C-alpha cells in the first residue's frame, strides 16, 4: 500500500475522532441543559401542586413544561374520561377507574424515560469505539513509519522515534475522546434512574390522591340531610267549647 493511502487512512481516523469529540461535547452540554431545566421546572411544579387546595385547583397547574407536569396532565385527562361515566356506578367501577389511571401514568412515564434516554446510546457508542478508531489509525501509522524507515535504510532511534511517536498520537486522541463520553454516559444514566424513580413516586402519590377523591377531579356534591319533620301544632280549641 502506498504511503499516500496510508496517510489518508491515518488522517481519516483523526478526523473521525475529532467528529466524535464534537458530538460528545454537544450531547454533554445539551443533556446537561435539559436535566437542569426539567429539574428546576419539576421542583416548581411539585411545590405548586401540593400547595393546591383541591384536586380541581391542582389540575389547572398541569402543563407540558416538565415531566411531572406532563404526567399530571395525563392523569387528569384519564380522570376526566372516567368521570364522564355513569355517576351511579362509582363503587362498581372504582377498580376500572384506578386501572385506567395507572395505565395512562405508566405509558407517560415510559415516554418521559425514552425522551431523557435519547442521546445516551450515542455517548455509549463513542465511548466504546473511539479507542479502537484511534488504534486503527495508529496501526496504519506504524506501517507507514516502518515503510519510511525501511526506505531510509537506517534504524537508529532518531529515525524510528519520530514516525512511531506520530503514529501513537491517534491512540492518545482516541482515549481522550472516549473518557468524557464514558463519564458523561454513566452520569446521565444515573440521573435518568433518579428521575424515573421520582416519576414513579409521584405517580403513586397521584393515584392515592385520586383514590381519596373518588377518582374524580371534582368531589361530587354531598346531598343535604333531610330535615326532621316539624311536629304538628296542637289543634286550637273552638270558641264554643
Q: Where are the domains of the chain?
A: 3-84+91-212
What share of the chain has pLDDT > 70, as a percent?
Answer: 78
**Where is average pLDDT lowest: 92-96, 100-104, 121-125, 183-187?**
92-96
State how far the Cα of 24 lies from the Cα of 119, in Å rounded to an integer: 9
Q: How many CB atoms lie within 10 A of CB 70?
A: 20
How large is the average pLDDT for residues 9-34? Answer: 93
| Joined grid coordinates for residue 223 | 346531598
* pLDDT greater than 70 at residue 26: yes
Residue spans of alpha helices (H) in 118-156: 120-152
Q: Which of 64, 143, 43 is nearest to 111 (CA)?
A: 64
pLDDT at 83: 67
Residue 152 Cα to chain centre, angstroms: 58
How large is the average pLDDT for residues 114-132? Answer: 94
Residue 165: phi, psi to the nearest 5? Answer: -60, -40
- Scanning the structure block, which residue is given the C-alpha cell 496501526? 139
* pLDDT greater than 50 at residue 185: yes
pLDDT at 6: 75
* pLDDT greater than 60 at residue 224: no
pLDDT at 239: 39
Burial (CB count <10 Å: 0-12, 13-18, 19+), residue 198: middle
pLDDT at 240: 34
How large is the average pLDDT for residues 33-52? Answer: 91
How large is the average pLDDT for residues 135-154? Answer: 78
**Where is average pLDDT lowest: 89-93, 144-148, 165-169, 189-193?**
89-93
State how far the Cα of 59 lies from the Cα of 57, in Å rounded to an integer: 5
pLDDT at 231: 44
Amino acid at each position: 500500500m502506498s504511503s499516500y493511502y496510508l496517510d489518508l487512512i491515518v488522517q481519516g481516523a483523526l478526523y473521525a475522532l475529532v467528529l466524535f469529540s464534537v458530538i460528545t461535547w454537544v450531547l454533554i452540554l445539551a443533556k446537561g441543559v435539559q436535566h437542569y431545566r426539567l429539574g428546576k421546572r419539576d421542583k416548581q411544579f411539585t411545590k405548586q401542586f401540593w400547595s393546591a387546595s383541591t384536586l380541581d385547583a391542582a389540575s389547572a397547574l398541569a402543563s407540558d413544561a416538565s415531566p411531572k407536569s406532563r404526567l399530571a396532565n395525563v392523569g387528569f385527562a384519564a380522570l376526566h374520561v372516567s368521570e364522564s361515566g355513569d355517576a351511579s356506578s362509582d363503587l362498581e367501577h372504582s377498580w376500572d377507574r384506578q386501572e385506567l389511571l395507572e395505565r395512562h401514568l405508566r405509558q407517560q412515564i415510559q415516554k418521559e424515560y425514552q425522551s431523557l434516554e435519547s442521546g445516551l446510546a450515542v455517548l455509549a457508542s463513542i465511548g466504546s469505539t473511539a479507542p479502537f478508531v484511534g488504534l486503527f489509525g495508529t496501526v496504519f501509522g506504524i506501517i507507514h513509519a516502518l515503510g519510511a524507515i525501511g526506505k531510509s535504510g537506517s534504524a537508529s532511534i532518531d529515525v524510528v522515534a519520530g514516525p512511531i511517536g506520530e503514529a501513537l498520537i491517534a491512540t492518545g486522541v482516541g482515549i481522550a475522546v472516549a473518557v468524557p463520553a464514558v463519564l458523561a454516559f454513566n452520569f446521565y444514566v444515573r440521573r435518568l434512574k433518579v428521575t424515573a424513580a421520582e416519576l414513579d413516586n409521584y405517580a403513586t402519590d397521584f393515584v392515592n390522591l385520586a383514590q381519596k377523591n373518588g377518582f374524580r377531579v371534582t368531589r361530587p356534591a354531598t346531598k343535604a340531610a333531610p330535615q326532621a319533620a316539624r311536629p304538628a301544632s296542637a289543634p286550637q280549641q273552638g270558641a264554643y267549647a
